[in-house]
Amino acid sequence: MAERVITPEGEIKIETRDLSVYYGDFEAVKEVSIALPSRRITALIGPSGCGKSSFLRCLNRMNDVILGARSEGEVLLDGRSIHEADLDVAQLRRRVGMVFQSANPFPMSVYDNVAYGPRLHGKPGREALDETVERSLRAAALWDEVKDKLRQSALELSGGQQQRLCIARVLAVEPDVLLMDEPSSALDPTATFRIEELMVELAQQYTIVLVTHNMYQASRVSRYTGFFLLGELIEYGLTVDIFEHPQDRRTDDYVRGRFG
Domains and CATH numbers, the chain: 12-255 (3.40.50.300)
Whole-angstrom distance, CA of residue 245 vs CA of residue 239: 10
Rounded to a whole number of angstroms, the distance between the first and last alpha carbons of the chain is 20
Structure confidence at residue 3 (pLDDT): 43
CA distance readout (Å), 111 to 26, 59, 101, 115, 125: 42, 28, 22, 6, 14
Structure confidence at residue 5 (pLDDT): 52
- The edge-to-edge listing of strands for the beta sheet with 41-45 is 96-99, 177-181, 207-211, 41-45, 224-229, 232-238
- Residue 14 pairs with which residues in a beta bridge? 36, 77
Radius of gyration of the chain (CA): 18
- Name, in order, each residue with C-beta under 8 angstroms of 25's C-beta and a sequence gap of 6 or more: none
Instruction: Show pLDDT as tens, one digit a residue, over the chain (260 residues).
Output: 444 456 677 899 999 999 999 999 999 999 999 999 999 999 999 999 999 999 999 999 999 999 999 999 999 999 999 999 999 999 999 999 999 998 999 999 999 999 999 998 877 789 999 999 999 999 999 999 999 999 999 999 999 999 999 999 999 999 999 999 999 998 999 999 999 999 999 999 999 999 999 999 999 999 999 999 999 999 999 999 999 999 999 999 999 999 87
Residue 204: CB atoms within 10 A of its CB come to 8
Structure confidence at residue 6 (pLDDT): 64
Cβ atoms of residues 198 and 141 within 8 Å: yes
Cβ atoms of residues 14 and 75 within 8 Å: yes
Cβ atoms of residues 15 and 236 within 8 Å: no
pTM score, two decimals?
0.93
Structure confidence at residue 1 (pLDDT): 44
Structure confidence at residue 124 (pLDDT): 73
Extended beta strands in the chain, E state: 12-23, 26-37, 41-45, 69-77, 80-81, 96-99, 177-181, 207-211, 224-229, 232-238
Whole-angstrom distance, CA of residue 30 vs CA of residue 20: 5
Dihedral sign, Cα of residue 187, residue 191, residue 196, residue 198: negative
Whole-angstrom distance, CA of residue 181 vs CA of residue 253: 23
CA angle 145, 147, 148 (to 5 degrees): 100
Structure confidence at residue 91 (pLDDT): 94
- Residue 71 pairs with which residues in a beta bridge? 21
DSSP state for residue 62 in the 8-state scheme: G
